[in-house]
Amino acid sequence: MEIDRLVHIRYRRQCQSLAQCTWKAGNLTVLSTDPLLHKGPVQLDFHFRLTPQTSAHWHGLLCDHRLFLDIPYRALDQGNRESLTAALEYVEEKTNVDSVFVNFQNNRNDRGALLRAFSYMGFEVVRPDHPALPPWDNVIFMVFKLETSEGNQRRYMVPVELVEGQEHSRRLQK
């Protein structure tokens, strides 16, 4: 619904003015709203410095052990891929997130390339009526589940091959 999208945009603008630096290492800076000031989702913004003059930016919303990331335009450029990797490493190491959702407009010109690239990284398309998703029209969501093993160490899911239409994955210890 368009009203839900407008509420999200208004909430995002309001949160941006309250953002503070949460974490900084290497080229990645994470900004967030103060969770004590909000009784709901916490905004996380990931800024990854590509050069002294340019950076890649991923906007996220942290809610109930789930992180929702908006896919920026030109997300498949090398710099944006590096920034996504850095953001996912931060999420995996510094938060209690168990699922990362990415989303993009259904009518994007690079939709096919995004679906292929994120599928290759281990993301799966989520059906639009899934209860964890906001009720937005014309948006595609994909999810990556962060799995834990015994001893609470996280593992990546890395696709290896497609066999008879089913994806088989190899688990790599981080």
Please write the tens of the pLDDT for every residue from 7-55: 444 444 444 444 577 778 888 889 887 665 556 788 889 989 988 888 8
pLDDT computed for residue 164 by the predictor: 30
Averaged pLDDT, 120-139: 91
5: pLDDT strictly greater than 80: no
Q: List the beta bridge partners of residue 22.
A: none
Q: Is the dihedral angle over the CA atoms 99, 105, 106, 112 positive or is it negative?
A: negative
Q: What is the pTM of this model?
A: 0.71
pLDDT computed for residue 75 by the predictor: 84
Q: Over the stretch 135-155, which tens digit does the pLDDT of each residue have?
A: 888 999 999 998 755 444 444
State the Cα–Cα distance between residues 63 and 43, nearest whole angstrom: 9
Asked whether the beta carbons of 139 and 103 are under 8 A apart, the reply is: yes
DSSP the chain: -HHHHHHHHHHHHHHHTT-EEEEEETTEEEEE--TTT-SS-EEEEEEEESSSS-EEEEEEEEETTEEEEEPPTTTTSHHHHHHHHHHHHHHHHHS---EEEEEEETT-TTHHHHHHHHHHTT-EEE-TT-TTS---TTEEEEEEEPEE-GGG-EEEEEEEEEETTEEEEEEEE-
DSSP 120-131: HTT-EEE-TT-T
Q: Is 92 left (phi over 0), alpha (psi -120 to 50) or beta?
A: alpha
3: pLDDT strictly greater than 90: no
State the Cα–Cα distance between residues 139 and 151, nearest whole angstrom: 37
Mean pLDDT of the chain: 75
